[in-house]
Amino acid sequence: MKGWALVTGASSGIGRQLAIDLAKAGYASILLARRESALLELQKEISEKYQIHCLVLPLDLAAENSTETIVSFLKLHDVSVSVLINNAGFGDHSPFEEADIKKLTAMINLNCTKLVELTHAMIPLMPKGSYIMNVASLAGFMPGPLMTVYYATKAFVLSFSQAIHTELLPLKISSSALCPGPVHTEFGKVASTGGIGAFDTISAQNVEEVSALALKQMFKRRQVILTHPTHNAVVFLLRLVPRHIIGPIVYKAQSKRLAKKESDKSSGH
């Protein structure tokens, strides 16, 4: 066994696949998410297929004392984590003035505050040579009308990850921001959209492809991880185009997606 990994949001999507791929690479995992049944199913799959140990921690990361609970759990099981995957998060797709403010502030809490809180608590417990990977998004490189707060949280995660990468160099701990585009996961259901509208011209990737590339680049200690060759071109162009121009382009794409969602809702789809 190479070490222990802590994966938040491990019950589905990218988090689930990262836990599986970490097991393939020889890492035992602490699987953290709200859905205990899904975690137990994943634990059984990993144990049977890869003969490697993993622990299940059913927990709502958004809860007030979640970080303290995680630290206590690690100490109870005498586990030292050398890979921290901050994957838990969600989005919302609606005009800002019509959005549920409680949902938006909960999004900021989970996507940003809890990520920072857990990272801050874990760093002193991680050995030299460890890895941190925070799941951001290609959305973090641009303003996102109609998914305003989600895009903003991912911009925060991107900036935060790059900043602490530099700070942690003396500890030989790297911080990577994973910035996928659209991925075939449950995210769209939670965000009330079939995908991220601004990326309609970019083909959605499967989660296996994203996870494999993410870990490969994380172990190379890359600060920013883009998961498709076209994303490099997108990021390059975004640096050249003024943000006041990007906003309306994103808005137009998101409007089409939102109109389709409303049409599907009214037709009963």
Active site residues: 150, 154
Name the residue type at position 253.
Answer: A
Residue 136 in tokens: 């951001």
Distance, CA of 108 to CA of 102 (rounded, Å) = 10
Give Dmax over CA atoms of the chain in angstroms: 58
DSSP 57: E
Cα 216-151-20 angle, rounded to 5 deg? 30
Which class for 52: exposed (0-12), middle (13-18), buried (19 or more C-beta within 10 A)? middle
Residue 164 in tokens: 């602490």
Cα-to-chain-centroid distance, residue 66: 18
Write out the DSSP string of 10-55. Answer: TTSHHHHHHHHHHHHTTEEEEEEES-HHHHHHHHHHHHHHH---EE
Distance, CA of 253 to CA of 257 (rounded, Å) = 7
Q: At what angle do helices 13-24 and 36-50 cross, to 10 degrees?
A: 20
Residue written as token pair 């942690």: 168
DSSP 178: E
Residue 105 in tokens: 């502030």
